[in-house]
Amino acid sequence: MSLSISVTEDLKTCFALRHRVFVEEQGVPVEEEQDDLDASATHLLAQQDSIPVGTARIVFNGNTAKIGRVCVLSSTRGTGLGAKLIEAAVDTARAHPGVTKAKLGAQIHALGFYEKLGFIAFGPVYDDAGIDHRDMVRDFT
């Protein structure tokens, strides 16, 4: 099996993956899944044997890279793909001039996953599309 994770312009495929995971599996309202940030975001696409299996996006704002819309298909969960996708997003963020940290909003059940990847939770729990989240940050310095 060959895995590749790279920056992509193939938003149609990224949106299809996100729709399957967020809208169909998690019940996120379809009108909330895509937003205006998609147009300016950097999108990553994970492919296993040339089959799309995961995606994430990065929105750059000053010295911060906001990683979001991270998803992997249920058939690939538990394989380490999610961690590789996050590390690819962090590497992409680090390579962006002036960026010193990555931030994300983690679903509560995924806090431990992100902590293992060096992220630290901060702030209160909040609702995002009907799902409890908490902000997390990983400094690059």
The pLDDT value recorded for residue 129 is 87
3-state helix, strand, coil in the chain (%, to 5): 35, 40, 25
Judge whether residue 30 has pLDDT over 80: yes
What is the residue type of 29? P
pLDDT tens per residue, range 103-126: 999 999 999 999 999 999 999 999
Output the CA torsion 62→17→23→83 (10° steps): -60
The residue segments making up the domain with residue 57 are: 3-139
Total tally of structural domains belonging to the chain: 1
Judge whether residue 140 has pLDDT over 80: yes
Output the domain CATH number for residue 121. Answer: 3.40.630.30
Give me 34's structure tokens: 């895509």
Q: What's the chain's length in residues? A: 141
pLDDT tens per residue, range 53-67: 999 999 999 999 999
As a whole-number percent, the residues of the chain with pLDDT over 90 amount to: 93
Judge whether residue 141 has pLDDT over 90: no
pLDDT tens per residue, range 74-83: 999 888 999 9
What is the helix (H) or strand (E) element at residue 12, kind and residue range? helix 11-18
For the chain, the average pLDDT equals: 95
d(CA 54, CA 133): 20
Judge whether residue 84 has pLDDT over 90: yes
Judge whether residue 73 has pLDDT over 90: yes
